[in-house]
Amino acid sequence: MTTTTVIPPQSTAPDARTPLIGVLALQGDVREHLAALAAAGAAARPVRRPEELAEVDALVVPGGESTTISKLAVLFGLMEPLRARVRAGMPVYGTCAGLIMLADRILDPRSGQETIGGIDMVVRRNAFGRQNESFEAAVEVTGVSGSPVEGVFIRAPWVESVGPGVEVLATHAGHVVAVRQGRALATSFHPELTGDHRVHALFVAMVRAAVAS
Ligand code: GLN
């Protein structure tokens, strides 16, 4: 008597539990974020065009120079699509210049500087000083297991004030340096530069929860 072995069809679909997270790749430390997201268990890819934005589950807005990122986002036709996706609930994480890009209001914008918005806060650019006043400090971040994390501050902004829907996750020297509002996360500092992926892991967990809901 012959027996038949039934081989189940191989699934070629990507693991539904692995979210695809874009990194806005107009200017700034894109490569470091791609590596940190991959290390935190996400699939990651650069986003430069509206079609690429449409394909990702979530987005990181990197550190760099917010005035340049703002200008290029307008030039590349990305500003309105970015605002629309954030309004529609796409998870976003901004570091430093990215935090500025996610602020509803900048205290001291360059003329013509626009933001994506999404977090009800007012930010002050270069609040911790210029490039030569960059520093590192241990920062306790709510929601990051085993906190503190090493905070790298480079011409860093701080959050001057927040609206009622915004949760303050961290402060440094009496100033707010990490916040969350719903699916939007922002830090004044750069976890992508430290090799410690716990803040990215927090974001990936936020994205997984959003994708599953
Ligand atoms: N000061 C910069 C800005 O205004 C941010 C610096 C950074 O991202 N490291 O965009």
Q: Tell me: the pLDDT tens digits for 44-99? A: 999 999 999 999 999 999 999 999 999 999 999 999 999 999 999 999 999 999 99
**Residue 1: exposure state from Cβ atoms within 10 A (0-12, 13-18, ≥19):** exposed
Residues 197/40, Cβ–Cβ less than 8 Å = yes
Q: pLDDT tens, 11-45?
A: 444 455 799 999 999 999 999 999 999 999 999 99
> Which ligand 1 atom is at minimum distance from the Cα of 95?
8
> Which ligand 1 atom is at minimum distance from the Cα of 96?
8
126 alpha carbon – ligand 1 mean position (Å): 7
What is the Cα–Cα distance from 72 to 184, expressed in whole angstroms?
A: 22
State pTM to two decimals.
Answer: 0.91
Domains in the chain with CATH codes: 20-212 (3.40.50.880)
3-state secondary structure of 83: helix
What is the Cα–Cα distance from 206 to 213, expressed in whole angstroms?
A: 11
